[in-house]
A and B are shown apart, each in its own frame.
Chain A
Amino acid sequence: MQQEVVLAMLAKEPSQGYQLRARLDQALGPLGEGLNAGHLYVTLGRLEKAGLVALEGAEVSSARSERKVYQLTPAGAERVAEWLSEVSWPKPDLAEFHLKLIAAAQAGLADPIGIVNAQRRELLRRLREAQQAAVDEPDRSDAALLLEGIALRLQADLRWLEACEQTWTERRRTR
């Protein structure tokens, strides 16, 4: 898991690992089910080594990891503030698929339209999962908002695939 996410989840108050986990579960709902708790402790360990997180109290360092109370160091708090003000955004990774279609067509190895249709089915299944989860969420929950974003994104991708299909169909016709 991204270190900044774990750091920022600690910003509310010094917390034990299970409390962080509960905050993530609350925010992600069913989307958080696959998250690995062990991974969270590995990330906390890394953050501790990097001096961004410290254990509360001195004597607890020998305690089992789930009993430890973690808190942000001043450097950690600074990192959280930076992260909040960053305007980063995941880039849509469409070039790989675009090049796949072009390579398939140029080499005559596969039908680009077949590739588009297979991809479309896969995205529709994902969209179905997201929508089914959204329908099962209580109104206006945190997870419902995230699911809405996921569904809108998948919708945009599906619309692009439709444009791909139309273009490649026309190219086949005019060749």
Chain B
Amino acid sequence: MTTDSPIARACALRKDYGKNESLVRAVDGVDLDIAQGETLAVMGPSGCGKSTLLHLLGGLDRPSGGELWLHGKRIDLMSERALAQVRHRDVGFVFQAFHLMDELTARENLELPMLLAGRSPRAARRRAADLLEQVGLADRSAHLPSALSGGQRQRVAVARALANEPLLILADEPTGNLDSAATLEILRLFKRLHAAGQTLVIVTHDERIAATADRLISMRDGVFVDETRLTGGTGGGLSALIGLEG
């Protein structure tokens, strides 16, 4: 782990919905530091505020209070235009329902965010090919999403999230629509990203996904109720997971 300043920081972060008696504190005073290269999982039941937190971190939504910093820049006070830049360049999103453009091929889905961020069509095309190679889908570049399996679509979505070399990948239930084989494919991909130093935040209600992170935060009713560091310290080794000996 690095001792550098965090890639993202939230201080007393709050997000309220509604007013007066119908006020909902979706995120209710959260402090969070995300270290460079860390994989962080945020877990909790639906409605606990974990997706709202992710949207705040990625500038998809604005906080009602508190401070939010990304790579040393305070983003909660930014103009709409500056915030849109952050969304395009500094963060990459992965959603449960993939959110690919149905009428664009896999390659075009990757090129689009790069073109929006100002990259030349040629450079975008080259990087799209590289990224598809990285996620093992070089031979699917001309396919429409409808011609891809769920796991393949999500790998395209992960490649798209990487398109502009973001500081932070934010994944909201990335395996929620996938069977176990496709889930493992995504976890393998995340493992490679982690090894390459990519910072990753995964929001999930699935313990099996959360357990793969370096650090796990449990959230309930808008607040953090537990934090567990999962790296270091091992159990009894793999064979201790089965009860055949003895």
Contacts and interface: CB of A to CB of B under 8 A. Distances in A.
Interface residues of A, number: 41
B238 A31 contact: yes
A133 B224 CA distance: 29
B145 to A, nearest CB: 22
A126 B235 contact: yes
Nearest to B206: A155
Interface string B235-246: 101111111111
B74 interface: no
Given A155-B207, A158-B207, A32 B241 contact: no
B121 to A, nearest CB: 36
A133 B188 CA distance: 11
A135 B191 contact: yes
B184 interface: yes
A131 B242 contact: no
A34 interface: yes
Interface string A115-143: 00100111011111111111100011000
A contact patch SS: helix
Given A134-B184, A140-B181, A125 B234 contact: yes
A33 B3 CA distance: 36
Interface stretch (B13-21, B61-69, B88-96, B208-216): B208-216
Given A135-B187, A135-B212, A155-B208, A124 B241 contact: no
B239 A31 contact: yes
A5 B241 CA distance: 17
Nearest to A152: B208
Contacts of A130: 238, 241
A47 to B, nearest CB: 16
A65 B244 CA distance: 22
B184 A122 contact: no
Contacts of A124: 207, 210-211, 216, 228, 230
Given A31-B239, A33-B237, A125 B212 contact: no
20 contacts: A1-B244, A28-B242, A28-B244, A32-B239, A33-B237, A34-B238, A34-B240, A122-B235, A124-B211, A125-B233, A127-B208, A128-B211, A129-B237, A131-B208, A134-B187, A135-B184, A135-B191, A150-B242, A152-B208, A159-B207
In the A-B complex, the 4 residue pairs with the closest CB atoms = A34-B239, A127-B211, A128-B211, A155-B207
